[in-house]
A and B are shown apart, each in its own frame.
Chain A
Amino acid sequence: MSFFGFGQSADIDIVLNDAETRKKAEHRSEDGRKDKYFLFYDGETVSGKVNVTLKYPGKRLEHNGIKIEFIGQIEMYYDRGNHHEFVSLVKDLARPGELTQSQTFDFEFTHVEKPYESYTGQNVKLRYFLRATVGRRLNDISKELDLVVHTLSTYPELNSSIKMEVGIEDCLHIEFEYNKSKYHLKDVIVGKIYFLLVRIKIKHMEIDIIKRETTGTGPNVYHENDTIAKYEIMDGAPVRGESIPIRLFLAGYELTPTMRDINKKFSVRYYLNLVLIDEEERRYFKQQEITLWRKGDIVRKSMSHQAAIASQRFEGFSAMPSAGKKRFYFHFET
């Protein structure tokens, strides 16, 4: 705003063309609140209108150009000043000049590539947004509209089970099995724990889902572990030959797809942690990574054609090494 008298200013409003029909998705913001945002998939066109409304009708608004940008960026919390933009598109809406009245500008970003899923974590944030700017000499007027992007995958061709024998020599031997190594976000983990040797006094057993967010590279790598779920699967002392079933429904937990080395900046990986606790509260545990992926909804006729195309774009999975039967030792908290 001008210091001398009443300078002209404007309000900017960004409206999507398909605001009525486009689905919204919930996304947790940095402060923990859950808000809804328009949901986009990779390859979809982003189009709409920018409304520039003059604050004081009748007065002119001089400007250095009006533009709209579509931005996908990664922000590390420890380095807020530096935004790493991996998608940056711009459309000029008006050349430098002046507005004599409120005006609306159309824009379209055609078939925009959105390679990663939106993510708000403990130390890093990946977001997509539209930003409309009216350039001015002293200070620009701008408005942002946050969007949420989901990356979809389809059933992986290779999805071997995880089966392993683990233990502590002469004290505890178990064989655990999980039916798959890759699970979608609404999937069920079906498995079993088979006891081969039990020379310790077990009190109970649980399975935890751990999310590990890794930020930074080289010597500055930082892992943030968060236990998303703790689920007791056995209460009491097992003996040799017993099989304990596991059935863990993932839909009840706040999970994201596995994100590996996103733009070389961060990763989000998930692990199943099998924990046995003995009568003296000693904990014996074995961690195993699983891959989580997002399944597209069944394509319905009412869905936009673009979204139908988008939901069929597959993310290739590199085959995970087949687990087979290997002998491992438990991690044992002393």
Chain B
Amino acid sequence: MSDPVVADTRRLNSKPQDLTDAYGPPSNFLEIDVYDPQIVGVGRGRYTTYEVRMRTNLPIFKLKDSCVRRRYSDFEWLKNELERDSKIVVPPLPGKALKRQLPFRSDEGLFDESFIEERRSGLEQFINRIAGHPLAQNERCLHMFLQEETIDRNYIPGKV
């Protein structure tokens, strides 16, 4: 039984990398910004909208640069659609803050600056996490949310 005393640990041969691949832009570019909160409406019917801007080079998204306005309930809609139609464990949204909607508060309630910032940040985290999910990218609701001006709540759910 003649076996080598030291194991052969040399690397396996591999193809040299193409330099355009090595130094070119990565194929996984996806950035979504949630910013510019604006209060819409008057009196008790007021609500806040946010700008949702997506920049990407992923081929699955029709537009490489898109910009839409969304409110909190739109994010809720998206979360519900994904939970119903896909097998994904959907990340949590920032809180609904029902207490802030009650009257007689000492602060601005739903329109308190620090609350809006907290919510904006949470929504940004949420949408980035979900948009990067390979299974979520197949859902029509995600594409409609990110790239169509308005959300058609009567749409036909399905895969892209």
Contacts and interface: CB of A to CB of B under 8 A. Distances in A.
Interface of A: 154-155, 168, 170-172, 177, 179, 186-188, 190-192, 194, 197-201, 237, 239-243, 245, 247, 278-280, 282, 295-296, 298-299, 312, 332, 334
A104 B19 CA distance: 80
Given A168-B134, A241-B17, A197 B10 contact: no
B133 A280 contact: yes
Given A200-B134, A242-B17, A282-B133, A177 B12 contact: yes
Given A170-B59, A245-B11, 14 more contacts: A171-B134, A172-B134, A179-B12, A190-B10, A199-B28, A199-B58, A237-B26, A237-B28, A240-B21, A280-B128, A280-B132, A296-B1, A299-B1, A312-B1
Interface of B: 1, 3, 7-12, 14-15, 17-18, 21-22, 24, 26-28, 30, 58-60, 87-89, 128-129, 132-135, 137
B26 A198 contact: yes
Contacts of B8: 188, 190
B9 A247 contact: yes
A239 B26 contact: yes
A134 B63 CA distance: 87
A191 B9 CA distance: 9
B21 A334 contact: no
A188 B27 CA distance: 34
Max chain B CB contacts within 10 Å: which of A197, A237, A298, A334? A334
A194 to B, nearest CB: 6
B140 to A, nearest CB: 16
A242 B125 CA distance: 30
A188 B87 contact: no
B132 to A, nearest CB: 6
B27 A198 contact: yes
Q: Rank and list the top 4 A-B pairs by shortest CB-CB distance, nearest first.
A: A243-B14, A241-B17, A241-B21, A171-B134
A247 B12 CA distance: 10
